[in-house]
Amino acid sequence: MGYTVAVIGATDNVGREILQTLAERNFPADQVIALGTDRAVGHEVSYGEDDVLKVLDVAKFDFSTVDVAFSPVDPKLTALHAPRAATSGCVVVDMSGHFALDPEVPLVVPEVNAAALAGYKQRYIVANPTGSTIQLTLALKPLHERFTVTRAVVSTYQAVSSEGKEAMDELFTQTRAIFVNDPVVKSVFPKQVAFNVIPQIDRFLDDGYTNEEWRLNVETKKVLDPKIKVTATCVRVPVFIGDAEAVHIETERPVTAEEALEILRAAPGVSVLDQRAAEGYITPVEVAGENPVFVSRIREDITVENGLAFWCVADNLRKGAALNAVQIAEILVRDYLEE
């Protein structure tokens, strides 16, 4: 006997990735249910190599028979349906960010703070951090345990796919339009994204940071350590899949590049490729479909005392979203839920 699992937004980029990840990892599910809204209802979506699921209307769905539900949809939809599911006894993995900073909701990166899952019963909701937080904290955790990270300065270079299929289509159509000298049309992004970079992800806040930059700061504190100071600049780049980060950290204790390299090589969920040559680092195009967070260009930051710099890249739809959520569910069914 296994579990019943539901995926809200099953036809979207992340929803499809969740279904694929569940199948690949042989998640112990007797039944997987695809849910959606509006035009998605009635459509079909693949699960594994052979199964096809018909999308049901989430607004009419009864969650009382579901053990775990994934919600990688708009925060307003998550706010509407997650409490309803949780009240029915279904544990919801919120991937929208809506519950991420709720003090009663665990915010979890399994390789970093899996023990926080013990608090899921307060609301029957567990939150998945934003992809940039996931890959940053995975890389920081082993360094923090050894050297105590006090400050992180992060520049992110984020793919368009986290904004959905329409965003990927916009990058494609703008690129084609430029090549054939057609007008460039914007709808998803505030500026042209093809052959450009946009230093804005999500809305601006009163202090000049964007919401994505603020989330990277506060989520890192919640997942890893509230004492870490984090400042970020989050940039949208014309890449379909794969987020990259340039990270500069300061630590309490001295750290050498060689020590950091050795520690990161042994860290769960991290893969290191660090050679000082043209092929000795990872780029976003190389990580599509891969599970680890890849770290390269590890070097000492000579401008500060106890400083270190590195480059990290991850598939934003895999570890940056679907895989992290499925890992959360795997721990829930292994350690907390009864079949």
Q: Identify the band that residue 1 occupies on the pLDDT scale cut at 50, 70 and 90.
A: low
181: phi then psi, degrees, rounded to nearest 5: 65, 35
CA pair distance 2, 30, nearest whole angstrom = 5
Please give the share of the chain, as a percent, with pLDDT higher than 70.
99
Query: HEC string of 40-106?
Result: HCCCEEEECCCEEEECEEHHHCCHHHCCEEEECCCHHHHHHHHHHHHHCCCEEEECCCCCCCCCCCC
Ranges of H-type helices in the chain:
13-24, 75-87, 110-113, 131-147, 165-179, 211-223, 257-265, 323-331
* Rounded average pLDDT over 82-111: 96
What residue type is assigned to position 224 of the chain? L
* Rounded average pLDDT over 212-230: 98
CB atoms within 10 A of CB 330: 16
- What pLDDT digit, counting tens, does each position of 201-220 carry? 999 999 999 999 999 999 99
Q: Identify the band that residue 73 occupies on the pLDDT scale cut at 50, 70 and 90.
A: confident
What is the longest distance spanned by two Cα atoms in the chain?
60
The reported pTM is 0.95
Helices 211-223 and 131-147: crossing angle in degrees, nearest 10, is 40
CA pair distance 126, 314, nearest whole angstrom = 22
Task: Identify the pLDDT of residue 43.
Answer: 94
> CA angle, 19 as apex, 318 and 134 as ends, to 5°?
25
234: phi then psi, degrees, rounded to nearest 5: -105, 125
- What pLDDT digit, counting tens, does each position of 270-306 carry? 999 999 999 999 999 999 999 999 999 999 999 999 9
CA pair distance 160, 154, nearest whole angstrom = 19
* Residue 80, C-beta contacts closer than 8 angstroms, at least 6 positions apart: none
